[in-house]
């Protein structure tokens, strides 16, 4: 096997372990998605809530910022102390990391909605809830999605590292490669799909962001 | 008889914004009757918006009471109240992410009108705004500023609200567009019988549109009145400066009354006096005619030196040569309405009589000259001013 070129080895690995790679790909993807989803479930309402209160908003963003500055491996280890080895630890870590871009973007998007438009909605007799889903959310949707996109790309990176705490995923393949002698091809076999996934996530969410951008606003720019 | 309930009433209303020391509006009381076109006018920061937004509870009332249809606004559910009061916000406030159609029918939709009624309403309103129906599917940014403001105005009419608040709806528009929008809203108001509260800082606009003008300054109520009252009896210099010199002097000329220019000591003679007395009086006062009154000062006619000379030996009393045919004017009549009548008579003056036919004065041709002089002189100085400005 060592006679083969790197590229040939790479193909060889895929031919023989194709379904395994696919399985790990799915796993990484799902872990990242779950992490971001939980972060969104927490972060979007928090962002909406703090957008009504400037001081609280700054404080919360400050906390999220602080979490972000902890190196991912350190945070993983800290969470592991609490939750032990396994997939939950990675999902929680991803969630923690995703909070910042999601909260920050929701907060920014919400507070940047034209005050005049909100005032006019209120003046026409919208309830707070109607104001939220008819005016404030649609008008900050693209900024919020940009936050989700950032979160997802970060999440994929963290999930790969997460294999160290036994969560599996594409990171597992990379770790195998590093343990094997002459494992470059195996490392590549794990790293390439990881990179591809991050790029795809970015492209797909960019597209989504464009679709969900309210029509009336596109022409304005 | 049922007493008429005003559409809006302010009772000693003050507003202090949170964390502010000074009140934004102070002790304001006045009424807006149903069908009124009420203009709130004042310089920037005088509290117009603040005052108006208390009507639909967009601002809370710190002190006093605001009543809508005779009921304290605090007794209404704010959301419901706002849905039943049209509101055109300062700078139009159209929803940028909604089409014109969605924008127009927003309030009816909030009120859960049936779908088919909504479609009809959108078409009715776009017609009212004098814009083509195809615009319904455009977005606000695809309309010009003036067109957006038209939509903003008709949007406030969408749910058949009887009371409509407009906060400088025609700000920042060229004069021609502005005028066409003013006509639009005036027509709608007259035709549909709405009550409109209209904020502006343009006195011309207020005087043109309003049936009632409310002048605010520094949060205080300065004057409430019809445009005529404001124009002719401005309460103080602030109101005068809002009206502007030009408009004021024009109004002054427009409203000069006969009593303002008449001479109050006409040479008159008693009906029973002798012709000798008459002649003496004419000589003394250097006049060729005398007005004749009875002992109650009622004007009976006049005598002239002509007739006196011709009839002197035969007649002896003033009443013998009295000419009763003569035109008079009342002291409360406007000079502008009688100007040509006075000037065209070949007599040099016209007697002024009150409602009892009592002689109270005369208007001479000379006094008219003064009025004309003042007007033209005023015009001239204004012309000079403008040409000086242009020269600079
Ligand atoms: N939300 C607010 N908080 C604190 N002060 C306010 C607020 N809104 C207005 N004010 C103050 O209240 C005063 C009256 O403001 P208001 O907006 O009613 O003026 P306005 O007559 O509508 O002026 P403009 O013609 O510029 O719109 C101003 O001194 C303003 O600074
Ligand atoms: Mg204002």
Residue from B43, B49, B88, B215 whose mutation best tests the ligand 1 pocket (most atoms within 8 A of CB): B49
pLDDT, residue B88, reads 92
Burial B68-87 (b: 16+ CB within 10 A, else e): beeeebeebebbebbbbbbb
A124:B142 CB<8 A: no
Residue B46 Cβ < 6 Å to ligand 1:
yes
- A171 in a structural domain: yes
| Of A53-57, A107-111, B93-97, B381-385, the least confident | B381-385
| Of A155-159, B62-66, B130-134, B267-271, the least confident | B267-271
Q: Give residue B345's pLDDT band: very low, low, confident or very high (50, 70, 90).
A: low
Residue from B15, B16, B17, B203 whose mutation best tests the ligand 1 pocket (most atoms within 8 A of CB): B17
Whether the predicted pLDDT of B391 surpasses 50: no
Go through chain A and tell me how many residues it has: 221
Tell me the two tokens of residue A159: 């999930």
- A10 in a structural domain: no
A122:B82 CB<8 A: yes
- Containing H/E element for B216? strand B212-217
A117:B93 CB<8 A: yes
pLDDT, residue B92, reads 77
Q: Give residue B378's pLDDT band: very low, low, confident or very high (50, 70, 90).
A: low
Q: Give residue B392's pLDDT band: very low, low, confident or very high (50, 70, 90).
A: very low
Q: Taking residues B132-161, report their average pLDDT.
A: 90
Is the domain spanning B259-369 CATH 3.40.630.30? The answer is no
pLDDT, residue B349, reads 83
Interface test with A, best of B52, B96, B142 (most A CBs within 10 A): B96
Arithmetic mean of pLDDT over chain B: 86
In the CATH scheme, what is the code of domain B8-248? 3.40.50.300
pLDDT, residue B187, reads 85
Whether the predicted pLDDT of B223 surpasses 70: yes
pLDDT, residue B103, reads 94
Residue of B nearest to A126 (CA): B79
Residue B189 Cβ < 6 Å to ligand 1:
no
Q: What angle do CA B64, B66, B69 make, to 5 degrees?
A: 150
Helix, strand, or coil here: A40?
helix
% chain B with pLDDT above 90: 39
**Interchain CB contacts (distance < 8 Å): A and B:** 69
Note whether A219 contacts B: Cβ–Cβ < 8 A: yes
Whether the predicted pLDDT of B210 surpasses 90: yes
- pLDDT tens string for chain A (221 positions)? 456 788 888 888 888 888 898 999 999 999 999 999 999 999 999 999 998 877 888 888 888 888 888 888 888 888 889 888 888 999 999 999 999 899 999 999 999 999 999 999 999 999 999 999 999 999 999 999 999 999 999 999 999 888 888 888 888 888 888 888 888 888 888 899 999 999 999 999 999 888 888 877 765 44
How many structural domains compose chain A? 1
- A116 in a structural domain: yes
pLDDT, residue B376, reads 64
**Residues of A (109-128) whose Cβ lies below 8 Å from B:** 114, 116-117, 119-127
Residue B218 Cβ < 6 Å to ligand 1:
no
Kindly give the pairing relationship between strand B37-41 and strand B195-200.
Answer: parallel
ipTM: 0.81
Cα dist from B103 to A46, B94, B97, B118, B312, whole Å: 29, 7, 9, 12, 90
Ligand number nearest to the C-alpha of B59: 1
Q: Taking residues B166-184, report their average pLDDT.
A: 84
Whether the predicted pLDDT of B364 surpasses 90: no
Residue closest via CA to ligand 1's atom 20 equals: B45
Residue closest via CA to ligand 1's atom 30 equals: B45
What 8-state DSSP symbol labels residue A125?
T
What is the Cα–Cα distance from A22 to A14, expressed in whole angstroms?
10
- Which range marks the domain in which residue A201 is found? 17-214
Q: Give residue B389's pLDDT band: very low, low, confident or very high (50, 70, 90).
A: very low
pLDDT, residue A2, reads 55
pLDDT, residue B326, reads 81
Q: How far is the CA of B170 from the centre of ligand 1 (A)?
A: 19
pTM of the full structure? 0.74
The domains of chain B are located at 8-248, 259-369
- A9 in a structural domain: no
Q: Give residue B390's pLDDT band: very low, low, confident or very high (50, 70, 90).
A: very low
pLDDT in tens, B63-91: 999 999 999 999 999 999 999 999 998 88
Winning range, highest mean pLDDT, from B4-8, B188-192, B273-277, B314-318 = B4-8
- Of A154, A152, A39, which Cα lies nearest the Cα of A95? A39
Residue B219 region, left (φ>0) first, then alpha (ψ -120 to 50), else beta?
A: left
Whether the predicted pLDDT of B302 surpasses 70: yes
Q: Which residues neighbour B187 within 8 Å (Cβ) at sequence distance 6 or greater?
A: none
Q: How far B205 CA sits from the closest chain A CA (Å)? A: 24
| Of B46-50, B217-221, B315-319, B356-360, the least confident | B315-319
Q: Which CATH number characterizes residue A130's domain?
A: 1.10.3720.10
Q: Give residue B128's pLDDT band: very low, low, confident or very high (50, 70, 90).
A: confident
H helix intervals, B129-257: 145-155, 175-192, 203-209, 227-232, 237-243, 245-254
pLDDT in tens, B38-71: 999 999 999 999 999 999 999 999 999 999 999 9
């Amino acid at each position: 096997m060592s006679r083969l070129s790197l590229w040939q080895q790479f193909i060889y690995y895929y031919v023989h372990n194709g379904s395994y790679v696919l399985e790990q790909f799915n796993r990484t993807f799902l872990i990242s998605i779950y992490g971001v989803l939980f972060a969104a479930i927490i972060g979007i309402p928090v962002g909406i809530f703090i957008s009504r209160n400037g001081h609280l908003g700054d404080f919360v963003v400050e906390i999220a910022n602080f979490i972000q500055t902890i190196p991912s491996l350190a945070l993983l280890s800290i969470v592991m102390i609490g939750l032990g080895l396994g997939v939950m630890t990675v999902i929680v870590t991803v969630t923690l990391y995703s909070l910042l871009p999601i909260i920050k973007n929701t907060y920014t998007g919400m507070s940047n909605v034209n005050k005049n438009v909100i005032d006019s909605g209120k003046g026409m007799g919208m309830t707070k809830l109607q104001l939220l889903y008819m005016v404030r959310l649609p008008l900050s949707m693209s900024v919020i999605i940009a936050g989700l996109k950032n979160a997802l790309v970060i999440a994929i990176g963290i999930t790969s590292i997460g294999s160290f705490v036994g969560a599996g995923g594409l990171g597992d393949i990379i770790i195998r490669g590093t343990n094997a002698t002459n494992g470059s091809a195996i490392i590549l076999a794990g790293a390439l799909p990881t990179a591809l996934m991050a790029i795809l996530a970015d492209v797909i969410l960019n597209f989504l962001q464009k679709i969900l951008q309210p029509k009336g606003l596109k022409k304005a720019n | 008889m049922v007493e008429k309930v005003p559409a809006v009433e302010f009772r000693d209303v003050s507003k202090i914004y949170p964390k502010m020391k000074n009140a934004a509006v102070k002790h304001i009381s006045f009424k807006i009757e149903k069908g009124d076109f009420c203009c709130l006018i004042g310089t920037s920061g005088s509290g117009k918006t603040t005052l108006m937004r208390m009507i639909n509870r967009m601002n809370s009332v710190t002190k006093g009471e605001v009543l809508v249809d005779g009921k304290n606004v605090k007794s209404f559910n704010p959301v419901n109240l706002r849905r039943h009061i049209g509101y055109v916000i300062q700078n139009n406030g159209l929803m940028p992410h909604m089409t014109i159609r969605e924008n127009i029918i927003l309030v009816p939709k909030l009120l859960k009108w049936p779908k088919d009624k909504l479609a009809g309403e959108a078409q009715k309103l776009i017609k009212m705004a004098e814009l083509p129906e195809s615009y319904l599917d455009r977005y606000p940014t695809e309309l010009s500023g003036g067109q957006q403001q038209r939509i903003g105005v008709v949007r406030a009419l969408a749910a058949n609200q009887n009371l409509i608040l407009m906060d400088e709806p025609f700000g920042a528009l060229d004069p021609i567009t502005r005028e066409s929008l003013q006509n639009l809203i005036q027509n709608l108001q007259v035709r549909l019988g709405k009550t409109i509260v209209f904020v502006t800082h343009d006195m011309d606009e207020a005087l043109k549109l309003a049936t009632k003008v409310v002048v605010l300054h520094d949060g205080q109520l300065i004057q409430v009145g019809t445009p005529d009252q404001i124009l002719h009896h401005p309460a103080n210099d602030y109101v005068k400066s809002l009206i502007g010199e030009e408009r004021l002097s024009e109004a002054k000329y427009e409203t000069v009354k006969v009593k303002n220019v008449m001479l109050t000591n006409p040479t008159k003679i008693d009906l029973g006096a002798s012709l000798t007395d008459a002649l003496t009086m004419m000589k003394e006062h250097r006049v060729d005619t005398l007005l004749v009154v009875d002992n109650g000062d009622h004007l009976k006619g006049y005598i002239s030196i002509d007739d006196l000379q011709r009839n002197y030996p035969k007649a002896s009393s003033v009443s013998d040569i009295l000419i009763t045919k003569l035109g008079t004017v009342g002291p409360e009549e406007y000079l502008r309405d009688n100007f040509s009548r006075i000037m065209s008579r070949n007599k040099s003056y016209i007697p002024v009589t009150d409602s009892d036919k009592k002689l109270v004065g005369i208007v001479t041709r000379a006094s008219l000259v003064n009025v004309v002089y003042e007007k033209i002189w005023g015009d001239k100085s204004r012309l000079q001013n403008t040409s000086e400005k242009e020269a600079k």
